[in-house]
Amino acid sequence: MKLATLAALIAAVEEGSMRAAARRLACSQPALTRMIRELELELAAPLLVRSSRGVQPTAQGRVLYERAVRARHELDAAADEISQIGGHLVGKLHIGAVPLAVMLLIPEAMRTFVREFPQIQLRISEELYVAQLQKLRSGEVDITVGGIPDDLSAGEFYVEPLLATTMIPTARKGSRWLQAKSLQDLQQAPWVYAGTNSHSGYARALFERNGLEAPQQGALVNSTLALLSLVSTGDYVALLPQQIAHQPWLANYVAPIALAEAGLPLQVGAILRQELALAPVVRHLLTHLHRAAHHINRGDSLLS
């Protein structure tokens, strides 16, 4: 199996068009078709379904595509790491981070890291609820900065704790839900759930931790902007990390709800695949994340 033929499959799947894939690889469309056909003959399986609307991967094609993307990522990472071992710190890092990290940890860490290592390209993607780690497993992201799952498989990932926080209920300034005294008072409130579904997440975990049935979702979002927009302008309740809920810039729009029950404790950390843990650039980034976390732990407000 050749790297060139795998690159052809990756381009075809991601572009959804043989013509666009050929353009991306700077080759002719017949040459691209031959490479895909070579793969199909080698594996004795169809990899793409062609139609008037373009191409889509078959089940077999999807499996090979995902493994090929992972292999390409590993080869790129190996080349970067070899350069780094030689003292030439270049390369790319893709970080998936929860809102607390995006708003507080990441800006300060990036400021100091990029100043020290300007040749390293950092890409940041927001992840609202990091319980499922598919992106980390597939190699789509290099490091996840978020809540450390309780059921994380021992030995699968390297974990470095950074920051302790508490997820607390919040509502719009002036909202009737600010009068609630207990979680039970909020069971009928329209809650904003963060993630891909309402069957998991921090809000559900908070209610179940207190022996209560989780409320029905009022909205399901996958971005911080959507969550803050709904809570600050509507009749919704949502959990926010206490460090964000108490930020001065948010105080005119959103307020914490004072309840008898404590909020949901959460340990935020950096999670990465074991093979990346010793890479020089990763170790440097972790140092800068720890430095940013230290500022927050001692009460500095990085956004005010």
CA distances from 122 to 106, 114, 136, 214 (A): 11, 8, 16, 38
| Position 244, amino acid | I
Q: What is the DSSP letter of 236?
A: -
Question: Pseudo-torsion of CA 66, 70, 72, 73, nearest 10°?
Answer: 140
> What are the strands, taking DSSP E only, across the chain?
48-51, 54-57, 91-97, 120-126, 143-147, 157-172, 191-194, 217-221, 237-241, 254-256, 264-273
pLDDT of residue 302: 47
Question: Pseudo-torsion of CA 164, 169, 170, 176, nearest 10°?
Answer: -160
Structural contact between residues 269 and 143, judged by C-beta atoms closer than 8 angstroms: no
- Give me the DSSP letters along 126-139: E-S-TT--HHHHHT
29-52 tens-digit pLDDT? 999 999 999 999 999 999 999 888
For the chain, which residues make up each domain, given as ranges? 3-80, 90-162+271-297, 165-266
Domain 90-162+271-297 has CATH 1.20.1050.10: no
Which two three-digit tokens encode residue 31?
A: 């040459």
Tell which wins on pLDDT, 74 or 257.
257
CATH, domain 3-80, list 1.20.1050.10, 1.10.10.10, 1.10.3720.10, 1.20.1250.20: 1.10.10.10
Q: CA 37 to CA 49: how far, in whole Å? A: 12
Residue of 227, 233, 215 lying closest to 172 (CA atoms)? 233
Give the residue-averaged pLDDT of 86-91.
62
236 — pLDDT class (breaks 50, 70, 90): very high
As a CATH number, domain 165-266 is 3.40.190.10
Lowest mean pLDDT across 24-38, 64-78, 99-113: 64-78
pLDDT of residue 79: 72
pLDDT of residue 303: 46
For 1-18, letters b (16+ CB in 10 Å) and e give: eeeebbbbbbbbbebebb
Give the residue-averaged pLDDT of 288-297.
88
pLDDT averaged over every residue in the chain: 86
113-123 tens-digit pLDDT? 998 888 888 89
The region that residue 192 occupies, defined by phi over 0 for left and psi between -120 and 50 for alpha, beta otherwise, is beta
| 3-80 against 90-162+271-297: fold identical | no
